[in-house]
Structure 1
Amino acid sequence: MARIQDEWARERPDVDVSPQGVIGRLHRLGLLLTDRLALVYRKYGLGEGEFDVLATLRRAGEPFERAPGELAAHTMVTTGAMSKRIDRLERDGLVTRRRSAADGRGRVVALTPAGRDLIDQAFAEHMRNERSLLDGLTPPEAAQLEQLLTTWLAKVEPPHPGPERPDRQDTP
């Protein structure tokens, strides 16, 4: 990143390239982190999206179910993308769909026992993986980075409706 910044500063001294130091490194780190996180998802036969759906259902607590629109809102994808994820998970026996008891026109997606077992195992390994990724930072550094990212994200991310705290980003 430093080399790229130096080259741009040489070629375009009229342009402030300092943002590139932060944004470029975050982008590179994001790609590397995604690759490392995906290793765990794949080990359990899941993509990032499927993991996210199962984790969102598991976090809901008993009876581990949510409406498809609620799932889409919690995972920040379109309802169309959510339908495709649910189709795959249902085909694999990890979730079921049924009519809502509260509203016969609505649908509810629920974890199956197999889905709950899978996400419990995958989530535990996911957290061990995330811990290993943070092990290069001291606890105070990790806390400082979390605070900085929380502050920045709150300024960049558009507000999203729902019960989520605006200063916390869902972790799959």
Structure 2
Amino acid sequence: MAQEPRPEEIPTLDQARYQIRRYGLDVDPQAVLVAVRLMAAGARLGQAVEVHFSRFGLSAGRYRLLADLEDADGEKSPSQLAASLGVSRATVTGLLDGLERDGLVLRRPSAEDGRSAVVVLTARGARKMRELAPEHFGRLQAMVDPLSAEERTVFLDLLGRLVRGIPALTQD
């Protein structure tokens, strides 16, 4: 009796071939399979990341904003945050509202231009980042532990190439 494929093996190459034949397309089924499995893995990873950060009272977006601030020595403008996170100013505003309510960041007028604001990582925010770091980075390592150092190097190269192909989904 045939064994059911594991979730990371769905869809199968046969399923990809069947779908491509159904539409009469001249497309490489393996290429389609790689893309579809990558999208499925991305969705599963996104869900797991939210569960992971919820342990610390954060979302992935809130964590990324705090980490970006920390990397910038604790201070950035909202527009700089939006650009470095690849999100809209409105998204940054929503993230900042919650982080400010929790005392992890504060907004203050810019020293260079009093009409604009800068976001500052508070001592409480820096402490939160230090407290979550051991578990966070330990879990990241555990996630990729099945790969050898050489496989990780290859994976990073492949992932970079795939990321450069993402515009194929959005270009006109």
TM above 0.5, yes or no, is: yes
Normalized against structure 2, the TM-score is what?
A: 0.82
Cα deviation for residue 150 of structure 1 reads 1.4
Q: Which residue of 2 aligns with 1:28?
A: 40
Q: Aligned pair 1:48/2:60, yes or no?
A: yes
Give 1:163's aligned residue. none
In 1: Cα distance, 2:128 partner to 2:54 partner: 12
Moved over 4 A (4+): none
Aligned partner of 2:152: which letter? A
**Do 1:97 and 1:107's aligned partners in 2 also have CA atoms closer than 8 Å?**
yes
Unaligned runs of 5+ in 2: 1-10
Deviation (angstroms), 1:33: 1.7
1:29 offset after TM fit, Å?
A: 1.2
Give the total of aligned pairs. 156
Q: For residue 57 of structure 1, what is the aligned residue in structure 2? A: 69
TM-score, normalised via structure 1 length:
0.82
Q: Cα distance, 1:125 vs. partner? A: 2.4
Pairs within 5 Å for 1:25-104: 25-61=37-73, 64-104=74-114
- Is the radius of gyration larger for structure 1 or structure 2? 2
Identity of aligned residues (%): 29
The residue matched to 1:44 in structure 2 has which SS?
A: coil
- Give the residue type in structure 1 aligned to 2:67: A
- For the aligned residue pairs, the C-alpha RMSD in angstroms reads 2.0
User: Distance between the aligned counterparts of 2:131 and 2:26, measured in 1?
Assistant: 49
Deviations 1:62-90 (A, max 9, x none): xx110110011111110011111101100
Q: Residue type of the partner of 1:31?
A: A
Question: 2:15 maps to which residue?
Answer: 4
